[in-house]
Structure 1
Amino acid sequence: MPAKKTFDNTQVIDQIMRLFWQNGYYHTSMDEIVATSGVKKQSLYNALGDKHTIYIKSLQHYHQLMLAATTQAMQALEQAGESPLTILMMLLTQGLTTTDQPAGDLIDNAVAEFATTDTDVKQITDRFYDDYLTLMASVILKGQANQTIVATQSSMGLAQSLLEARIGLQTRLRQGSHPDITQCQQTWAKFLAI
């Protein structure tokens, strides 16, 4: 008779996700995954799969967490009556200044490690960036409609430029740099404001 599973998949994936976020895929061993999760290796394989499968699940988990946190932050700002420009600046820097997590962004790290060499990773990173781009574009569109954000480019074009600036900030943070986030927000706000 197989042993009864005694752990929560989501909690274990969350712990492992942070390990991948800190070390990257290639610098994380299966032994480290086992130690971090506190689950026996065979039980981990049976429940979650091999290292690559666990990594994919970690990326998907990160995507869900970030999307939920970002949407919640947007709604709170909207309910407080904040302008689309203020919400957009939050989107630019959401999660980048938090000290209780590894530097940078797990999705950005995945792109840096795999680029286009792993189709599973590429699908997840593309989906994440598409979702984030859509959030940014929707806020820009609202700002363009109420004439507080420039309309010299399409909302999607402006969102793409802003997303690329965010990715650049994430990369710099991961490299150990300390970019001035407030100055970056101020620069973009001046560029986007009417």
Structure 2
Amino acid sequence: MSRNKEFDEIEVLEKAMQLFWEQGYEKTSMSDLVERMGIHRRSLYDTFGDKHTLFLKAVERYESKVNATLARGVKSSKTATEALQFVVSILICGEEDSPSGCLMVNSAVELAARDADVNKKSIEVFSTAEQLLKEIIFWGQRDGEFSSDYDAEELSEYLHNVGVGLRSMARTSIPKEKLHRIANISMKLLEK
């Protein structure tokens, strides 16, 4: 007869996600995970499989949290400009009590060239981000907030690329003011 789990699966997955986010995949050992997650090694394997499978589940958890935050922020925005500013603030500052940078960007840089699963997930997540930006740009163009001089899809690809750079730079000690200046210059492309 199997025993009931003595831990909340989402709670321990969240702890693993934070650790991978802080340290990266390669630097995070199974011992680190067992210690951070507060569960026995056997429970980790029984529940999440191996380290790679756990990592992919942590990435999925990260993606769902970020998408939910962005959706709430964009939905509550009164204008496309406000929505875009919200997205940029998440890119630069992240969420409260989160490691700096972006787990997906970090993972793509660390692993995508040699890990097909991470490469596929990175492309999927980046495509979703570009689609969100494209919708905001269309909204702003439709309502006359943004210039229609450029194609919304091309602008979304460009702004996403800037966002990936901002998320990478956010992991350093570069002042947030500099990151905001970079974002503001990029947003000027949208001005009417």
1:36 Cα deviation (Å)?
0.7
Equivalent position SS for 1:174: coil
1:102 Cα deviation (Å)?
0.8
Are 1:30 and 2:30 an aligned pair?
A: yes
Deviations 1:37-71 (A, max 9, x none): 11100011001111000000000000000000000
Unpaired stretches in structure 2, ≥5 consecutive residues = none
- State the one-letter code of the partner of 2:23: N
Q: Tell me if structure 1 keeps the 8 A contact 2:62–2:103.
A: yes
1:4 Cα deviation (Å)?
2.2
Query: 2: distance between equivalents of 1:158 and 1:33?
Result: 40
With structure 2 as the length reference, what TM-score do the two structures score? 0.93
* Residue 141 of structure 2: aligned partner: 144
1:92 Cα deviation (Å)?
2.5
CA-atom RMSD, angstroms? 1.5
* Residue 64 of structure 1: aligned partner: 64
* Residue 174 of structure 2: aligned partner: 177
- State the one-letter code of the partner of 1:192: L
Q: Tell me if structure 1 keeps the 8 A contact 2:105–2:168.
A: yes
Equivalent position SS for 1:10: helix
Are 1:93 and 2:92 an aligned pair?
A: no
With structure 1 as the length reference, what TM-score do the two structures score? 0.92
Q: Tell me if structure 2 keeps the 8 A contact 1:93–1:166.
A: no
Query: 2: distance between equivalents of 1:176 and 1:60?
Result: 28
Query: 2: distance between equivalents of 1:34 and 1:110?
Result: 21
- State the one-letter code of the partner of 2:84: L
* Residue 73 of structure 1: aligned partner: 73
> Which of structures 1 and 2 has the larger relative contact order (alpha carbons within 8 angstroms, sep 6+)?
1
Query: 1: distance between equivalents of 2:162 and 2:16?
Result: 28
Q: Percent identity?
A: 26
Equivalent position SS for 2:156: helix
Q: Tell me if structure 1 keeps the 8 A contact 2:14–2:58.
A: yes
* Residue 106 of structure 1: aligned partner: 103
Q: Tell me if structure 1 keeps the 8 A contact 2:22–2:99.
A: yes
* Residue 130 of structure 1: aligned partner: 127
Equivalent position SS for 2:99: coil
